[in-house]
Structure 1
Amino acid sequence: MAEAVVVGAGIGGLTAAVALQRRGWKVTVLERAASLEPVGSGLGVAANALKALDTIGVGDEIRKLSAVQGDGGVRSAGGRWLARTSAEAVAARHGGDSVILLRRADLVDALVARLAPGTVRLNTTVTGVDPETGRVLLAPAGAAAGAAATASGGTAGTGPDDAGGGGAARLEADLVVAADGIHSPIRAALFPGHPGPVYSGTTSWRVLVPAEGVPGQASESWGAGRVFGIMPLAGGLTYCYATDVTPAGGGGGDQLAELRRLFSAWHDPIPALLAAASPENVLRNDVHYLAVPLPAMHRGRVALLGDAAHAMTPNLGQGACQAIEDAVVLAHVAGAGEGPAGDVAARLAGYTAARLARTSKIVTRSATICRATKIRNPLAVRLRDTAMALASRLAPRGVAGSADEIFGWRPPAA
C-alpha cells in the first residue's frame, strides 16, 4: 500500500488526507499543535469547494450544518448598498450551490470523522523533509514546537544521523503533502530563492457572536481603509470579520475594545453585534500573502497545498476553498494507493499543471480587491463607492457572472 504523510491538520491537509484514504492510501497527518482548531471562527464554502467536498462524501453533511448565504452585497460604512448579489442567481448558474456559511470547527470535525483512527498525530513537529526519498524527520518528543523544517536533495535533514540530536523519529512516505501554512518551513526549504509571503498592509479580526435576536444579512461594508463583514450562521451565531490598514505586529490589549472603537459609528447591526461579542472570542492576525507565485507546487515527492502554496488575502473568500480544490486534485493525480506507488514525483507535475495558474490568478484578483479596500483618501473613497454602485446598477447580471470563473470549477472525474 502506498503511504502519504500530510504535514499540517488544517482544512486543506485534512481534506487531502480524506481524499487520499478514499483512494486507498495509508495516510499519517502530522500536526504540531496540541489540538485542532482550539478557537473557532466562521467560514464560507463556495460552490466550487462544495463540489470538491462532494467527491469525498462530505458535501451533504456540511450543507446540513450550514446556513445558505442569502442575498447580500457590499455596503458603505453608513449602510448604503453599493453592490447587490443574488444567491438565487448564483445558485442557478452553479448547479444549485452558491455559498454556505458554517463554523470552521464543524468542517474540521466532519473531515476528521472520515479518517481512520490514529491518522492524526498531534504535538508532532516536522524538522526535515527529503523530496527525493520522501523521508520525513520529526523532532524528538518534548522538542520546541517551532523547530524549522529543512528540505534538500541529500543535505540538511536527510542523512541517517540528521535528526537534530540523533534521537528523532522518521517516517518514510511515497508522497509528502506540505499543508503547513502561510509561513511554511517546507516551502522555504524547497524553494529558497522565493521571496515568501509579504504583508498586505491590513490586519484582520474575526469573531463568532451569539447574535440571537440581532437582525442582519450577509454583507460586507467598506469604509475609508476599513472593512466589516457579517455572515449569519446556523444556531443563532453570526461570524463577523473586519480589516484595517495598520502596521504589522500589533495585537496587544483588548481587541474587542479596538473593534468597537473602529466600527461603533458604522451602520446597524454592526454596533449591536460588537456589543454582543466576548473579548476571548476575538482573533487578530496580520494578513500576508504570496505576491510572487511559486515556480511549481511540487518538488520531487513533495506537494505544496493551500496557504503553503498560494496564500491569498481573504477578499474573495477563497483561501480554504482553494485548499479544498488542491486536495481533491492532488488525490486524483496521485492515483490509487492500493498497490505500489510508482513514480509519484513524475505524476506531481500534473498537479502543478492543474493548480498553479488557477490559484495564481485568484491570488492576484484577491489582492486587487484588497488594495481597493485600503483606500483612505475621502475623495478617492467616494469615487470608488460611486463606481461600484454604478457598475452594480448598469450591469446587475455581471455581479453574479463575475464569480463564474471561480465558482464554475469542476473537480476531476474519478
Structure 2
Amino acid sequence: MEVKEDIVIVGAGIAGLTTSLGLHREGIRSLVLEGSDSLRTTGFAFTTWTNAWKALDAVGIGDSLRQRHERFNGVSTTSTISGVQTSEMSFMANGKQGDHEVRCVVRKVLLEALSKELPSGTIRFSSKVVAIEDSGFSKLLHLADGTIIRTKVLIGCDGVNSVVGRWLGLGKLSFTGRRAIRGCTFLTESHGFEPKFMQFFGEGVRSGVLPCNDNSVYWFFTWTPSGQEKVKEDNPAELKQFVMSKLGKMPEKVKAVIENTTLDCILSSPLNYRNPLKLLWGNISEGNACVAGDALHPMTPDIGQGGCCALEDGIVLARCLAEALMKEPSKKSEGEEEEEEYYRIEVGLKKYAKERKWRSFDLISTSYMVGFFQQSDGKLMTFLRDTCLAKFLAGLLLKKASFDCGKLKLS
C-alpha cells in the first residue's frame, strides 16, 4: 500500500517534534514517523540554556515549561579530591554574557508539551523506516509493516543511528573512550537544594547534580573505563554501586540523591560524537532530504548543548522550509510545477544546512575539548582545571548559550 505525504519527519524526539510544531505554526502539515510505540524519554532530563528557551518560545511552549521547572541562579564547581569549591558563576546579568535563563527540563515533560500542540494524527507510532528510495521528485519510504510512503520532503530526526543519515552518507560515529551513567530521583517531599547547577570533578571523573523542580533531581556521571574496571552496563544496581564508589569528597546531601535513585531510573551509554571535520565535507542535505538533531550533530554532553541545539535545528528548519513552500508557484504544466517545487525545497534545505553546519561544527568541537579538560586526570591537569580553567570553562558554557536561532515567520 502506498500513501502520499508532503513532509515526513522520521523520529519523534526533540528535533522531530520541534520541527513538526514549527511547521504547524507556519500552517504546514507534516507526518512524524516514530519506530517506538510511544514517545522516547531516554535520558530523563537535560539542561536547557538560554538558546533553548528562545527556541521554545518560538514554538509557543516556553511559558508552560517554565512553570514546571526551576530557574537556576548559577553554576558551582567543586573538587571531589579536596572537597573545596573551585569556582562559582552567576547566571544573572553575568558580565559580557548578560542575563541567562537556565533550567533542567524533564525530557518526558518536554516531549509531551510538544506533542500536545500538534494536530491529532501527526505522530504515527510503531512506524520504523527500513529503506529509502528515490522516485522522481519524491522519496519512497519503506516501513517495517510493509507500508510505502511517498513524500516530497524527508527529514531525518532519528537519532545517532539515523537511517536517513546513512542514506545521506554521513558515516559512522566516533567513540570518545568515555561513558556516561545518568539517573533521575523523584522524591515525595522537597529535596532542599537551591536552584543551582552543581558540577564535581576529580580522579578522571566528572559528575553533576541538577534540580528540575522541588521534587525531582537529575544527575550524571562520566568516566573513562580502564581494563581493571568491569561494570555491567545493563545492571542498574551495579552501575549505582560503581558511581557511589567514585564520588570522593562530595557533600553527603548530594550523594544521598544518587543513593535514593530507583534502579529503573538509571541507565548507561557510551559517549559518541560525529567527527566535526567529517561534518564539513558530508551532506546535511541532498535534494529534498536532510537531517537534524542527533542525526546531524551527536556530541558529548560536556557543555549541555545536544538537546538545545536540536531545538534550534527545528526552528531554523521549519522557517527555511516554510519560506520555500509558501512561494507562489508559476503557472506551468503539472510536471514543470513539480520540478519547480522540488527545486524550491532543495534551496530551502540548502539554506538550512548552511546555517546549521558551522553551528554544529562549533558545538561538537567545543564539547569535545571541554570534556577533555574537565575529565583529564593527573596532578598538573587537576591543578590547572581547579585554578586557571574552572571559570574559563564555566564562562564558555554561557558563551555558547548566547546563540539566537530566530523566530518563525508567522509566530
Mark yes or no: TM-score above 0.5. Answer: yes
Note the C-alpha offset of 1:320. 0.6
When residues 238 and 377 of structure 1 are mapped into structure 2, their CA distance, relative to the original with a 3 A threshold, is same
Note the C-alpha offset of 1:124. 0.9
SS in 2 for 1:26: coil
- Which residue in 2 is equivalent to 1:44? 47
When residues 54 and 366 of structure 1 are mapped into structure 2, their CA distance, relative to the original with a 3 A threshold, is same
Matches within 5 A, 1:141-220: 141=145, 168-191=146-169, 194-211=170-187, 212-215=190-193, 217-220=196-199
**Structure 2: 5+ residue stretches without partners:** 330-340
In structure 2, how many angstroms separate the alpha carbons of the residues matched to 1:403 and 1:71? 11
Q: 1:121 aligned to 102, 120, 124, which one?
A: 124
Asked if the contact 2:97–2:398 (Cα under 8 Å) also holds between the matched residues in 1, the reply is no
Please give the per-residue CA displacement for 1:262-309, whole angstroms capped at 9, x wherever unaligned. Answer: 226533333211221111110111110002342231111111101111
Note the C-alpha offset of 1:379. 3.8
Q: 1:284 aligned to 248, 259, 268, which one?
A: 268
Note the C-alpha offset of 1:38. 5.0
Asked if the contact 1:263–1:270 (Cα under 8 Å) also holds between the matched residues in 2, the reply is no
TM-score with structure 2 setting the length: 0.85
Note the C-alpha offset of 1:104. 0.8
Note the C-alpha offset of 1:380. 2.8
Note the C-alpha offset of 1:182. 1.0
- Which residue in 1 is equivalent to 2:85? 81
SS in 2 for 1:333: helix
- Aligned pair count reads 379
When residues 136 and 79 of structure 1 are mapped into structure 2, their CA distance, relative to the original with a 3 A threshold, is farther
Note the C-alpha offset of 1:177. 0.9
- Which residue in 2 is equivalent to 1:300? 287
- Which residue in 2 is equivalent to 1:244? 223
Provide the identity percentage: 23
The amino acid across from 1:260 in the alignment is M
In structure 2, how many angstroms separate the alpha carbons of the residues matched to 1:215 and 1:73? 13
When residues 24 and 140 of structure 1 are mapped into structure 2, their CA distance, relative to the original with a 3 A threshold, is same
Q: Which moved more, 1:21-30 or 1:400-409?
A: 400-409
Please give the per-residue CA displacement for 1:344-366, whole angstroms capped at 9, x wherever unaligned. Answer: 01221111111101110111000
When residues 402 and 366 of structure 1 are mapped into structure 2, their CA distance, relative to the original with a 3 A threshold, is closer
Q: Which moved more, 1:288-297 or 1:273-282?
A: 288-297
Please give the per-residue CA displacement for 1:112-165, whole angstroms capped at 9, x wherever unaligned. Answer: 001110111111110222466332423342xxxxxxxxxxxxxxxxxxxxxxxx
Q: Which moved more, 1:208-217 or 1:57-66?
A: 208-217
Note the C-alpha offset of 1:91. 10
The question of 1:261 aligning with 2:245 is answered: yes
In structure 2, how many angstroms separate the alpha carbons of the residues matched to 1:310 and 1:407? 19
When residues 21 and 136 of structure 1 are mapped into structure 2, their CA distance, relative to the original with a 3 A threshold, is farther
Q: Which moved more, 1:169-178 or 1:129-138?
A: 129-138
When residues 249 and 189 of structure 1 are mapped into structure 2, their CA distance, relative to the original with a 3 A threshold, is farther
SS in 1 for 2:296: helix
Q: Which moved more, 1:249-258 or 1:121-130?
A: 249-258
Asked if the contact 2:12–2:40 (Cα under 8 Å) also holds between the matched residues in 1, the reply is no
In structure 1, how many angstroms separate the alpha carbons of the residues matched to 2:302 and 2:41? 24
- Which residue in 1 is equivalent to 2:210? 231
Note the C-alpha offset of 1:327. 0.8
When residues 213 and 179 of structure 1 are mapped into structure 2, their CA distance, relative to the original with a 3 A threshold, is closer
- Which residue in 1 is equivalent to 2:307? 320
When residues 136 and 114 of structure 1 are mapped into structure 2, their CA distance, relative to the original with a 3 A threshold, is farther
- Which residue in 1 is equivalent to 2:364? 363
- Which residue in 2 is equivalent to 1:165? none
Asked if the contact 1:2–1:26 (Cα under 8 Å) also holds between the matched residues in 2, the reply is no
Asked if the contact 2:204–2:376 (Cα under 8 Å) also holds between the matched residues in 1, the reply is yes
Q: Which moved more, 1:125-134 or 1:288-297?
A: 125-134
In structure 1, how many angstroms separate the alpha carbons of the residues matched to 2:259 and 2:351? 50
Alpha-carbon RMSD across the aligned residues, in angstroms, is 2.6
Note the C-alpha offset of 1:405. 4.5
Matches within 5 A, 1:15-164: 15-38=18-41, 41-77=44-80, 78-90=82-94, 93=97, 97-130=100-133, 133-141=137-145
- Which residue in 1 is equivalent to 2:403? 408
Please give the per-residue CA displacement for 1:150-187, whole angstroms capped at 9, x wherever unaligned. Answer: xxxxxxxxxxxxxxxxxx21112221110011121221
Q: Extract structure 1 runs of 4+ deviating beyond 4 A.
A: 90-94, 247-250, 336-342, 398-402
The amino acid across from 2:186 in the alignment is P
In structure 2, how many angstroms separate the alpha carbons of the residues matched to 1:230 and 1:320? 18
The amino acid across from 1:133 in the alignment is F
- Which residue in 2 is equivalent to 1:346? 347
In structure 2, how many angstroms separate the alpha carbons of the residues matched to 1:20 and 1:11? 14
The amino acid across from 1:305 in the alignment is A
- Which residue in 2 is equivalent to 1:147? none
Asked if the contact 1:205–1:283 (Cα under 8 Å) also holds between the matched residues in 2, the reply is yes
SS in 2 for 1:202: strand
Asked if the contact 1:45–1:101 (Cα under 8 Å) also holds between the matched residues in 2, the reply is yes
Asked if the contact 1:264–1:271 (Cα under 8 Å) also holds between the matched residues in 2, the reply is no
TM-score with structure 1 setting the length: 0.84
When residues 40 and 307 of structure 1 are mapped into structure 2, their CA distance, relative to the original with a 3 A threshold, is closer
- Which residue in 2 is equivalent to 1:157? none
Note the C-alpha offset of 1:105. 0.7
Asked if the contact 2:5–2:149 (Cα under 8 Å) also holds between the matched residues in 1, the reply is no
